[in-house]
């Protein structure tokens, strides 16, 4: 049986393949999340002033004037946009880690493969 198909070699190739796939899919996810972070699309629903007023009436609270209702609506919109931005940033950081963490593992295992291949070729020439 050839030395090139030992269990250790199969393991090294398998780990290299898996980590390379993680790097590729992590990079794709990173680019996708970067585009979503740079150009966010919001599908949030923002209540009308009448709906906010109705909340106060349903809770049996005194209805504030329209200027305060507008301020409440603006605060809700700002909160939702900030929350969405935080989620996008979290996803971006997560995709960076999925992309960057496997790189050292891939390099380590691939270098072991190269070292063994060149070592075997050197033995064959002698």
Residue with tokens 């963490």: 101
The pLDDT of residue 9: 86
Q: Where are the domains of the chain?
A: 3-112
The pLDDT of residue 6: 83
Alpha-carbon distance of 3 to 124, in angstroms, equals 12
Alpha-carbon distance of 110 to 11, in angstroms, equals 11
Tokens of 126: 């002698």
Q: Are 15 and 110 in contact (CB under 8 A)?
A: no
The angle, 0 to 180 degrees and rounded to 10, between the axes of the packed helices 66-100 and 49-58 is 100
Reported pTM: 0.69
Mean pLDDT of 68-94: 91
């Amino acid at each position: 049986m050839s030395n090139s198909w030992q269990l250790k070699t199969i393991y090294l190739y398998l780990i290299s393949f898996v980590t390379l796939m993680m790097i590729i899919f992590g990079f794709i996810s990173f680019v996708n999340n970067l585009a979503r972070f740079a150009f966010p699309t919001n599908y949030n629903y923002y209540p009308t002033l009448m709906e906010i007023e109705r909340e106060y009436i349903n809770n049996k609270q005194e209805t504030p004037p329209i200027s305060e209702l507008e301020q409440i609506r603006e605060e809700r919109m700002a909160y939702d946009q900030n929350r969405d931005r935080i989620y996008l940033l979290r996803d971006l950081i997560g995709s960076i880690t999925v992309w960057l963490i496997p790189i050292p593992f891939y390099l380590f295992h691939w270098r072991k493969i190269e070292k063994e291949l060149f070592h075997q070729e050197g033995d064959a020439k002698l």
